[in-house]
A and B are shown apart, each in its own frame.
Chain A
């Protein structure tokens, strides 16, 4: 079985891009357009990985991170920040805050999924060549 990945992103074109790339590679996706929805959906659906924008209306990415890290049933879930904050020090800030990974926008269509997969257990990764 391949992983279920929750995408939290308020910029619609970016959300669609990531969802398209993940689906094209055979992953099941869930989407949330703001932080609060992301938290609710994570609790309900227990995704295998969360890909999270930082600047979102309401709760931002860091707040989503903290809320989910404080939830004992979701403590193990990996979270990757995908953000257009890519100035000096942003990567360190993100990783220090407790995100498992940091991707800066713009993402590259060719490599995005490949770079994200190491954050998934091997058995949940999509078999290569399944892209359709």
Chain B
């Protein structure tokens, strides 16, 4: 009867009782051993005790403790144990040699909570003031995953009352779905503690007492004392920033979509406007070629008017779409090494026939050597075409001169192109609005509005895109001079 009671009493003890052979093999697994370590007797019996329950860095310590016990008959120690589930606990163990030294009986008591409270009080005494002095939530926790101490900012952040966080599991502060991986992260951190951000690049969340979550940013720093390492987590609620980022991202996406829609619209508009012009210009051509049959002079004249009007419309479409692209910031600038003399030469060659037909002197003043300059070839050539074309178009007698030079302005190379003509000139009051869209000077109106009214506007936009300037000086009755200045890209 007494025996029976005694046995029940031992089974119900809150401590683990373990019997080890002389080489540290588990022979008995009693008391609260299963509860404490998580292993059943079946799992534990026959294994090496040190390998089963000691964290990797504590195995030597356990071996020493066992040999101490064998030598001196008994010994005691406070240390860490690793449970089957990976969690660490603090234990106080005492060992006693039995059977003349062959075997050792150990009894281990879980003192985690006691130690957590004790360490927490010690930390609070040492650092309490410092903890309260920062705007971030600070939580100091240990390798068993317990909060030792938290400042009031952290308590507010997580919705706990004063002192309520102390001795809680850190896991209580993070959403369920992060807990499993957190244990591994924590164990690895304590193996190699260093200052770093937690979960770099990951979105981390905190869990409030009321079950709600909030996005956090956490940085970790180890704090070493003589016998252990704890970690300080500085926790910041980034809800506001996260919301802001999300809103910004949404806006960016919206803008991108709008831009893409605009691009598509421009492309289809260009396509749709050109398609009917294909038939207009094409069939006017076949008629003028007299492919279907002869036509008289008046018919020829009228067809030519149709065709030049259609071409004018086409030029307008091109200019407008180019302008739309520039305005939308959709012109991608290419950085190219351009031989500017050669480019002027090329453009001049395509326009020379017109100048020759009108009996104009078309003079190029180009440097003798190739003049290379880094810029966007397409934009530059577009400006050159516009300027030279205008000069030839509006000059009835005399000359068109194109000059080019590259100079160094305090380490910055600059390209200047001057296009001069002996045309009718531009009145002072017209000069002011010359570069505005759809503004044409008197000379242009006299020519029956041949141009699109966009050429100079477009040219100046292109020049501005290249960080350059396009200016004009003119004297009515004498001529005009357009100067393009571009800095090297």
A residues whose Cβ falls under 8 Å from a Cβ of B: 11, 13-14, 16-17, 20-21, 24, 55, 83-88, 104-110, 112, 131
| Contact A55-B279, Cβ < 8 Å, known A17-B286, A87-B266 | no
Are the C-beta atoms of B291 and A106 separated by less than 8 Å? no
> Can you give 27 contacting A-B residue pairs, CB < 8 Å?
A11-B278, A13-B276, A13-B278, A13-B283, A14-B278, A14-B282, A17-B282, A17-B283, A21-B286, A55-B271, A83-B271, A84-B270, A84-B272, A84-B275, A85-B267, A87-B325, A88-B331, A105-B274, A106-B278, A106-B280, A106-B281, A106-B282, A106-B314, A107-B282, A108-B281, A109-B283, A131-B291
Taking CB as reference atom, which chain A residue is nearest B280?
Answer: A106
Tell me if B374 counts as interface (CB < 8 A to partner A).
no
Number of A-B contacts (CB under 8 A): 77
Complex CA gap A16/B280 in Å reads 12
Interface residues of chain B: helix, strand, loop or mixed (majority): helix
Residues of A within 8 A of B285 (CB): 108-110
CB distance from A25 to the nearest CB of B (A): 9
Residues of B within 8 A of A108 (CB): 281-282, 285
Residues of A within 8 A of B169 (CB): none
Complex CA gap A112/B288 in Å reads 14
Are the C-beta atoms of B274 and A84 separated by less than 8 Å? yes
| Contact A11-B275, Cβ < 8 Å, known A17-B282, A106-B314, A108-B285 | yes
Tell me if B321 counts as interface (CB < 8 A to partner A).
yes
Are the C-beta atoms of B286 and A20 separated by less than 8 Å? yes
Report which residue of A20, A106, A108, A131 has the largest number of chain B beta carbons within 10 angstroms of its beta carbon. Answer: A106
User: Within B250-277, which residues are at the interface with A (CB < 8 Å)?
Assistant: 266-267, 270-272, 274-277
Which one of B267, B279, B289, B321 lies within 8 Å of A17 (CB-CB)?
B279
Which one of B266, B274, B282, B291 lies within 8 Å of A24 (CB-CB)?
B291
CB distance from A10 to the nearest CB of B (A): 10
Residues of B within 8 A of A55 (CB): 271
Taking CB as reference atom, which chain B residue is nearest A25?
Answer: B291
Complex CA gap A1/B480 in Å reads 57
